[in-house]
A and B are shown apart, each in its own frame.
Chain A
Amino acid sequence: MAKTKSIAGILGEARRHLPRAFGSILAQGSKTGLRFGDRLFRRLTLAFAFSIVALTLLIAYELYRNSVLSIGKFGWGFFWSSTWDPVFQNFGALPFLYGTLVTSFVALAISTPVGLGVAIFLSELAPRWLSDPIAFLVELLAAIPSVLYGLIGIFVLVPIMRSLGAPYGVGMLTAGVLLAVMIVPFITSISREVLMAVPQAQREAALSLGATKWEMTWMAVLPYARSGIVGAIFLALARALGETMAVTMVIGNRPEIKLSFLEPGYTMAAVIANEFTEATYDLYINALVEVGLFLFAVTIVVNALARLLILSVAKKVEVRE
């Protein structure tokens, strides 16, 4: 016991001295200009950062290059035609867009409150003996391969949905619910990390002003962690938009636009995965790649819109405060 204390003491002392030491190094650096190692480090990390940009552009270009035939033949009509007929070579992607958006937003609508709730419980309310094992289980859920979720979907979720009144059991709502289960771990584990990084002083300040636990969480902790939580939700949304295997197993794979979420649908990622291996002529493959290009664009647009939406809401809250 005494020994640990002394180690803590040493660490504390080191921490007190360190900023001074760093300060002097930085001061030296600015006097003599950046040292070689620093410059190398800077360039290297810059190169890494730009490789992401290059990769994104390369993916977009390759997707475009491999879908020229279909773009040339169908033009903009590709995006609002709902016929997908490989036999008569007529392709339109609207039903896939619809299915992708519906399932992703159903998933997000369910998983955001649940995932965030779990994260708040784990970081703010649960005793340590409970929060650690639950956090571990949540991360375990994230590691389950999606085909397993698909199987659970087929054998457990689909019969439940049918008994609850869905005409076929499979359908867009079923896929959305399954996706929600799959993305909750993402929202929870990242949000929990972010919430735990909120300085204790925030909480103590709120509590000292007489705030309840709820008020403390809502007014002092969540606003502080806002950007991190938003990031967690985006990551979950991205996963939902691109999820393939589990969705195709429970959505019914029917390229039609139906208003009822209980009806079967189809998603962009699912049609690519389903039909790519047996796509036997060039226009067909090009049309599938164009669906991929479309998905790529949709992901960017949806992310941008969601970011704008959340930023504007966040601003309003701040103004009111």
Chain B
Amino acid sequence: MSQTLLSAVLLLFLAAIGTAADAQTFINGAGATFPYPVYSKWFDEYNKLHPDVQINYQSIGSGGGIRQVGELTVDFGATDSPMTDEQLEKAKTKLLHFPTVLGAVVPTYNIPGLTGELRFTGEILSGILLGEIKRWNDPGIAKVNPGIKLPTGNIVVAHRSDGSGTTYVWTDYLSKLSKTWEQKVGRGTSVNWPVGLGGKGNEGVSALVKQTPYSVGYVELIYAEHTKLPHGAVQNREGVFVKATLKAISAAAAGAATNMPADFRVSITNPPGKEAYPIASFTWLLIPEKISDPKKGDALAGFLKWMLKDGQKHASDLLYAPLPKEVIAMEEKAIRKIRY
């Protein structure tokens, strides 16, 4: 008796698993680490609203994301720097870029005894990172920081040692502001640094900066805010010194939105706009234009639509800057390009 009951329960249980597996759509993605906190929040929230869609995301880095989605070993990728033409050509399928949120990179520093907040210009930053500006009391730095007593200490530069989208945005900005930088160092996830020490990850750079007197480095805004690192204001294209805030970052995106290319592959460092913070960037999802499994295509398109509306609200809670309206409208149109 009990045995038949047991087997009946077992059968029911198996049937339940079977139907659940039938109804569920599993989607795999991989890529950028920078937006991982907001992505995992989104996928979690989306799963609560649509229990039949389960999105699994692995933050293996932008390079890995680009490779894996290009090989179609995952359903979508994610990257902090837009794919190059060469990379797009190499991918096995046509890939579409969808900006999701915005991030910013801020200069952080450790100057013992300094009162007040430092201001930087592109010229100063590239000068320091090229090794041309060696001391804090350099006349160039003093000129934009009137009223601040700058010490004579030798500047120690800290940068990321691991390849990273943060480095890409930072060097992209420097390349736009300084011809010397562009020709000598250039932009990339890893570059050949003229001077400085390498720290692994935001935490590695911030540890170097915190421990080394007279040092300067760069970290993501979110990391700087969470760990209360001092970060300076940077002069934008209109000559205004702007501190990185969510509003200033969204303003940077809005400034760039007016001449947004149709494929969304755009750099928004040093954008027009009085309120814009100049070292900011989109981060993108990479979605294949043609998705063979209609269920997955449907689920991904559904997620993108939700991400552009309700998802954006979660972004600012986690200190990511939400997309400007103009960009959202453009992306909503672009979703229709996905065929499944």
Q: Which residues of A contact B (CB under 8 A)?
A: 83-88, 154-155, 158-159, 162, 168-170, 248-249, 252-255, 264, 266, 270, 273-281
Q: How far is the CA of A279 from the CA of B212 in the complex (A)?
A: 29
Q: How far is the CA of A248 from the CA of B198 in the complex (A)?
A: 9
Smallest CB-CB separation from A158: which chain B residue? B211
Interface size range on B against A: 35 or more
Contact at A278–B162, with CB atoms within 8 Å? yes
Q: How far is the CA of A177 from the CA of B193 in the complex (A)?
A: 26
Interface membership of B186, Cβ < 8 A? yes
Of the residues A154, A170, A249, A278, contact of B163 by C-beta under 8 Å: A278
Contact at A254–B163, with CB atoms within 8 Å? no
The 9 tightest CB contacts between A and B, nearest first, are: A278-B163, A253-B198, A277-B61, A253-B161, A87-B186, A85-B192, A278-B189, A278-B63, A274-B162
Q: How far is the CA of A270 from the CA of B196 in the complex (A)?
A: 17
Contact at A87–B188, with CB atoms within 8 Å? yes
Q: How many CB-defined contacts (below 8 Å) exist between A and B? A: 95
Contact at B197–A87, with CB atoms within 8 Å? no
- B residues in contact with A276, CB < 8 Å: 63, 163
- B residues in contact with A252, CB < 8 Å: 197-198
Of the residues B63, B186, B199, B212, contact of A253 by C-beta under 8 Å: B199
A253 to chain B, nearest CB (A): 3
- A residues in contact with B164, CB < 8 Å: 278
- B residues in contact with A281, CB < 8 Å: 86-87
Interface membership of B191, Cβ < 8 A? yes
Q: How far is the CA of A194 from the CA of B339 in the complex (A)?
A: 67
B60 to chain A, nearest CB (A): 6
Q: How far is the CA of A249 from the CA of B212 in the complex (A)?
A: 14
B83 to chain A, nearest CB (A): 8
Contact at A277–B60, with CB atoms within 8 Å? yes
Contact at A169–B211, with CB atoms within 8 Å? yes
Contacts A253-B161, A274-B162, A281-B86; A248 near B191 (Cβ below 8 A): no
Q: How far is the CA of A195 from the CA of B204 in the complex (A)?
A: 41
B89 to chain A, nearest CB (A): 12
Q: How far is the CA of A170 from the CA of B207 in the complex (A)?
A: 11
A313 to chain B, nearest CB (A): 38
B229 to chain A, nearest CB (A): 16
Q: Mark contacts of B71-104 with chain A using CB atoms, 8 A cut-off: 1 yes-contact digit, 0 otherwise.
A: 0000000000100101100000000000000000
Interface membership of B66, Cβ < 8 A? yes
Chain B, range 37-55, C-beta contacts under 8 Å to A: none
Contact at A169–B212, with CB atoms within 8 Å? yes
Contact at B198–A159, with CB atoms within 8 Å? no
- A residues in contact with B187, CB < 8 Å: 87
Of the residues A83, A87, A88, A254, contact of B198 by C-beta under 8 Å: A254
Q: How far is the CA of A248 from the CA of B200 in the complex (A)?
A: 7
Contacts A85-B192, A154-B207; A275 near B162 (Cβ below 8 A): yes
Q: How far is the CA of A170 from the CA of B190 in the complex (A)?
A: 20
Which of A162, A169, A266, A277 has the most chain B CB within a 10 Å cutoff? A277
Q: How far is the CA of A87 from the CA of B188 in the complex (A)?
A: 6
Chain B, range 129-168, C-beta contacts under 8 Å to A: 156, 161-165
- B residues in contact with A278, CB < 8 Å: 61-64, 162-165, 189-190
Smallest CB-CB separation from B197: which chain A residue? A252
- B residues in contact with A280, CB < 8 Å: 62-63, 66, 81, 84, 87, 189
Smallest CB-CB separation from A264: which chain B residue? B197
Interface membership of B208, Cβ < 8 A? yes
Contacts A277-B60, A281-B86; A170 near B66 (Cβ below 8 A): no
Interface membership of B240, Cβ < 8 A? no
- B residues in contact with A162, CB < 8 Å: 211-212
Contacts A159-B211, A249-B200; A279 near B191 (Cβ below 8 A): no
Question: Other CB < 8 Å A-B pairs besides A86-B192, A277-B61, A278-B163, 14 of them?
Answer: A83-B192, A85-B191, A85-B192, A86-B163, A86-B188, A87-B185, A88-B192, A254-B193, A274-B190, A275-B190, A277-B162, A278-B189, A278-B190, A280-B66
